Chain A
Amino acid sequence: MHILPLFPALGLGGAFLVSLLGRRSKKFCDIFTNVITCALFGLSLYSLCILKSQTSPLVYKVGGWIPPIGISLVLDGLSSFMLIIVNFVAFMITLYSVNYMEKFTAKFKFYTLFLLMLAGMNGVIVTGDIFNLFVFLEIASVASYALVAYGVEAEELEASFKYLIMSSVASLFILLGIAFLYSYASTLNMADIAVVLSEKGLNNAMLFASILFIVGFSLKAAIVPFHAWLPDAHPSAPAPISACLSGIFIKALGVYTLCRLFYNVFGANPALLNLFMGLGAVSIVVGALLALGQVDFKRLLAYSSINQIGYIILGLGLGTPLGILGALFHLFNHSVFKSLLFLNSGAVEYTVGTRNIRDMGGLREKMPVTSSTSLIASMSISGIPPFNGFFSKLIIILACIHAGHVVYSFWAILGSILTLAYFMKLQKNVFFGNLPERYNNVREVPFFMKTAMVMLAIACIVGGFMVLPKVKKYILSPAQNVLTHGLDYKNINEIGVK
């Protein structure tokens, strides 16, 4: 049996069953959703083993139609890498939701939407057909609009509306881009488009299409100046969803699709890479400056996401193997520590009942697990040496200097210092200092929430070892090779196994 169709199918089928049977028993929802996300995580690890055992990428023909006529699903180093990230974080989030979502009614609706979103993200990652990519992107987006509005309070609805309008405009831009691409290349298979584009060359219509794609996917990835929806939408959602949106959603739908299109289909050209570098540097500085002034725990983290996405885009824009390695490594690290930080913010909100960091203080003694895991995550994200964030930022900054872009490396260092500043502010206000009288009865969060946070914290520490040459060749290098030898993607239909 082929594993590739299982990635979208498990999520879709799970969503269907949870919505059908979940009304009866809460226990069933909890166990069933966790089993599905765990299975998906297992499958993505297995996909890595499959790739290791054979040299060429895996291609699955949906319904037996030969690409480019039918839809194909593709598994190469990059998609396997992304699948591992997405499904690992999703598993941790469902584990966390077992306890956290108790306070909401209709838990099964949450699980249904979550599984739909996960199916959409997995589908975007494995698909090899550009219109299919659009469909999965919309499945994930529609589920995420509903999840942002999940609490149906005034702020949540407002944030969801704003997010929905901006994101639908982004989807329309992407669809328009696909229309241009199809009218030029007469095919929807991405590998086939790459073949046609390399034979016929790029003309002005393709330039216009690539601008449409950049605008659309940058809106999805929340790169400055397309970031306005993120600081509203991410804090308003329930904490597990904030973690999912900030940790993996903007990467699977924004950064991954940008990589795939501009490295593998269009082929990296210098003008485009310069644009990416500029957008990345602006995101780093603007995100960090805006995060400094925040007093809302989750809003600060949301601005920090914009700041960290900037590093990834900057690294990708460099286009050198080292820069791409740094970007992919930072992508992994950011999804781990940012989802951990959002889960911490959820834990604090769960016990204390507020998100304003001025009203907190001294929670370190009362909530040892939450405070120590958040300390690990904060140190990782601000780039303190033994943790994973340090290595990825170091690689990106070194790659900047190596490629001769000293100015960009300056902005990256400045952004890192600002990151340290606002996370020190966060730690000082929330976990250190004096405990206010009214929080004397605060207790540590329940078991599953603790487990999820501890496992993500372990991933933060262990993640640093991924750049060691012996470990790198298994996970990071295959993904890096897909991007550095970008145009090899066009041969995928011929050399792909089955």
Chain B
Amino acid sequence: MITYFLCLVLFAVGLYAVLRKRNLIKIIIGIVICEYAVNLFLVLFGYRMNNRSPIYDPDQVITKMVDPLPQALVLTSIVIGLATTALVVGIAIRIYEKYGTFDITKIRKLRG
């Protein structure tokens, strides 16, 4: 139970960084932390205590194993996260070139 709770705390830390930080890079790090929390959660609920890894072996009869599907989902989700992070860092660099700052309170040409 405590691991699930810590996972939630990690998610909250990420959300806090997204909502409260003023530096673009810190916001991006916040998003990444959130992502990790969700991925960790996905792996956690597929995990069963003291069970073996879900690898097929013709010599053994596997009776107890962890759920392999969430692990596959997490792999997909990590790849998606990589694409998003690469794009957002690229955009942040371009913003720095245009505005000369990473401070979101100074990046406000859009109003209304």
A residues near B, CB below 8 A? 131, 135, 138, 142, 145-146, 149, 152-155, 157-162, 164-165, 168-169, 171-172, 175-176, 179, 182-183, 188, 231-232, 236, 293-294, 296, 299
Contacts of B35 in A (CB 8 A): 168, 172
**Contacting residue for B110 out of A135, A146, A158, A172, CB 8 A:** A158
Distance between Cα atoms of A175 and B80 in the complex (Å): 12
Binds A, one of B49-57, B58-66, B83-91: B83-91
Contacts of B83 in A (CB 8 A): 138, 142
A sample of 6 cross-chain residue pairs with beta-carbon separation below 8 angstroms, ordered by A number, consists of A145-B87, A149-B94, A153-B98, A161-B88, A168-B35, A172-B38
Q: B99 and A161: CB pair below 8 A? A: no
Contacts of A138 in B (CB 8 A): 80, 83-84
Contacts of B9 in A (CB 8 A): none
Q: A169 and B107: CB pair below 8 A? A: no
Distance between Cα atoms of A334 and B24 in the complex (Å): 35
Q: B112 and A299: CB pair below 8 A? A: yes
**8 closest cross-chain pairs (CB), A and B:** A154-B98, A183-B45, A138-B80, A157-B95, A232-B110, A179-B42, A155-B109, A157-B94
**Contacting residue for B99 out of A146, A154, A168, A169, CB 8 A:** A154
**Contacting residue for B77 out of A152, A153, A175, A236, CB 8 A:** A175
Known: A169-B15, A232-B110. Contact between A157 and B41, CB under 8 A? no
User: How big is chain B's contact interface, by range?
Assistant: 20 to 34
Identify whether the interface residues of A are mostly helix, strand, loop, or mixed. Answer: helix
Known: A138-B80, A142-B83, A172-B35. Contact between A155 and B110, CB under 8 A? yes
Distance between Cα atoms of A447 and B107 in the complex (Å): 39
**Contacting residue for A175 out of B15, B38, B87, CB 8 A:** B38
Q: A169 and B94: CB pair below 8 A? A: no
Contacts of B109 in A (CB 8 A): 154-155, 158
Q: A172 and B34: CB pair below 8 A? A: yes
The minimal Cβ–Cβ distance linking B102 to chain A, given in whole angstroms, is 11
Asked if B73 is at the interface (CB within 8 A of a chain A CB), the reply is yes
Contacts of B95 in A (CB 8 A): 154, 157-158, 161
**Contacting residue for B91 out of A164, A188, A236, CB 8 A:** A164
The minimal Cβ–Cβ distance linking A292 to chain B, given in whole angstroms, is 12
Q: A179 and B45: CB pair below 8 A? A: yes
Q: B18 and A165: CB pair below 8 A? A: yes
Distance between Cα atoms of A307 and B42 in the complex (Å): 36
Contacts of A145 in B (CB 8 A): 84, 87-88, 91
Q: B91 and A149: CB pair below 8 A? A: yes
The minimal Cβ–Cβ distance linking A348 to chain B, given in whole angstroms, is 19
Q: B94 and A135: CB pair below 8 A? A: no
Q: A231 and B80: CB pair below 8 A? A: no
Distance between Cα atoms of A264 and B65 in the complex (Å): 33
Q: B73 and A131: CB pair below 8 A? A: yes
Interface centre among B35, B70, B76, B110 (most CB of A within 10 A): B110
Contacts of A293 in B (CB 8 A): 112
**Contacting residue for A296 out of B11, B73, B112, CB 8 A:** B112
Known: A131-B73, A231-B112, A232-B110. Contact between A161 and B80, CB under 8 A? no
Contacts of B31 in A (CB 8 A): 165, 168-169, 172
The minimal Cβ–Cβ distance linking A458 to chain B, given in whole angstroms, is 33
Q: Which residue of A lies closest to B85 (CB)?
A: A168
The minimal Cβ–Cβ distance linking B24 to chain A, given in whole angstroms, is 7
Q: A142 and B84: CB pair below 8 A? A: yes
Q: Which residue of B lies closest to A146 (CB)?
A: B87
Q: B91 and A169: CB pair below 8 A? A: no
Apart from the given pairs A165-B18, A172-B34, 20 other A-B contacts in the complex at a CB distance below 8 Å? A135-B76, A138-B80, A142-B83, A145-B84, A145-B87, A149-B94, A154-B99, A155-B109, A155-B110, A157-B98, A158-B95, A158-B107, A158-B108, A168-B88, A169-B34, A171-B84, A175-B42, A176-B38, A176-B41, A179-B45
Known: A155-B109, A172-B38, A179-B42. Contact between A165 and B87, CB under 8 A? no
Contacts of B94 in A (CB 8 A): 149, 152, 157
Distance between Cα atoms of A394 and B31 in the complex (Å): 43
Within 8 A of A (CB), among B3-34: 11, 15, 18, 24, 27, 31, 34
The minimal Cβ–Cβ distance linking B97 to chain A, given in whole angstroms, is 9
Q: A164 and B88: CB pair below 8 A? A: yes
Distance between Cα atoms of A138 and B99 in the complex (Å): 29
Q: Which residue of B lies closest to A236 (CB)?
A: B110
Distance between Cα atoms of A145 and B11 in the complex (Å): 23
Q: Which residue of B lies closest to A173 (CB)?
A: B38
